[in-house]
Structure 1
Amino acid sequence: MSLGDEREASGGYGGTGQTRTRLPDGGADPYGGARRGRSSSRSLVTVVGVVVLLIAAIAFANRGNDDPSSADTPQNKPETAPTAPSGQRPVQSKKTGIPTGYTHDKTGAQSAAANYAVALGSAEMFDKAKRDAILQAIIVPSRVADFEAKLDRAYTPAFNKNVGLNEDGSTPKGYTLVSRTSPIGTKVTQTSTDKATVEVWCSGLLGLAGENSTNPVTNSWFTITMQLQWTDGDWKIVTHSQKDGPAPIPGDERASGAEEMAKAVQEYGGFTYAR
């Protein structure tokens, strides 16, 4: 709104108490002379970005159309991406709520690693009994005791308190614990008949949703590396490590309130990852 518009809206101009009537500038069309509001810089960037992507997509789609030799043939098609769908049916069985029964190949190893990353980053890991059940389901039997001892040393009363939980890992009344891991993609770095090393790029949420929470839900990016072994007809974890990133530049979205975040976690279930 311009200075003149503000004055008109207040019922007077220049302190005289008189009003002015703005006549349309567009002839017979009363909207022809209307002034347009200025778009924000963010909208302009978004539009430009969409146009650039559209031009790039058209150029890519038309590339080689003038050359018959560039037509899609088996030898000219690009290689399948590491996380492309395989067309196989997802696994049907579950143990402790975790999908099991993967195929004995690289595709099955990647599906297993993705689902195991979800389990290891879940809120159930803060409960000793549930954590041990998860480890029994996804770790090779010979390493279960080692994993239990290591994680018991990690999930201490002091750690739980730092997260905002009670010392026993339970959630304080009036709050919702948010702990989720979402795989973005997987990559096999080493493989043999019964072994595979898989990296899982993930985004994670962790914190307490609730009014006056001193540990609000935050987002992180990290990569999990798992060495898997084919054991008892399924892929199991032998070793597990984690490093930060790759992380994108944070966006400028408005942070959701505690009630909205808690409601989202309660209403939106997780996914089963399978190729």
Structure 2
Amino acid sequence: MIWVDGRIVPDQALTISVLDRTFEHGLGLFETLRTWQGGTPLLDRHLARLRKSAKALGLPLETSALPDLAAVTQLLEANGHVGDAALRLTLTGGVSDAAGATLWMRSAPLPPSMITGPGAVVDFGSWWVDPNDPLLRHKTLNYWRRRSAYQDARERGFDEILSVSAGLNLWEGSRTNLFFVAGNELVTPALDGPIVPGIMRELVLELAPSSALEIREVTNLEPNDLQDASEVFLTNSVRGVIPVARLGDLSWDVPGGPRTVRLKSLLSEWLNEGGTTS
């Protein structure tokens, strides 16, 4: 069952025009998120990002077509989910800049962990990006390069792969944002680079001061810059904080040090309390 146009309908009831630009040129957007203790504390942030991307890329999106918590609840009940679940919103490209887009939401069980050990094993160097490509800053349906980079990394025994640009600058994972701790600083690539403005990334930056960390967003991050990193982690809206055990030739004996653990605790409290902290 899916949610579309304010109704819960069977999957096969969804119809999309063959003239939709999704089929012509791969136009469209998506958002993935999850429930926490049955609530959706990040839903409004995902919807805001969807609206912003649709406006920037010229995709028609009616505000009335967006789901709310009641829609999520109805969908989870219709699909018989017990416990928390993953959600995906998909927006097609529409038949023109002004009309014809379709937005729907589906649910699924939470996916398995991205990692099999105590920390992620991360590669870089084979997924090259152009820093001036505007599509890299949005969750577009034109996802083939990210998907193939991730699948190739998995086949070679890695959990994730980071994008790189000329000069061997590191940017983001195929489905994650990158952070590292050096001293009292929390460092991450800046949003004016070729990265998706991750929702979990945003939340980590909001909560970092409560963990006595100073934030530094950088536009130039090379592998050597991580030599002094005491902790490295990735973020993802469904999986939260993912500690890193090895990145290229660098490794950390205890993935997820005290700063990472503290941030994970703050995030868990915020998310499980519905977007508030005591």
Q: TM-score if structure 1 supplies the norm length?
A: 0.21
Q: Tell me which protein shows more strand as a share of its residues.
A: 2
Higher relative contact order (CA 8 A, sep 6+): 2
Give the TM-score taking structure 2 as reference length: 0.21
Greater CA radius of gyration, 1 or 2?
A: 1
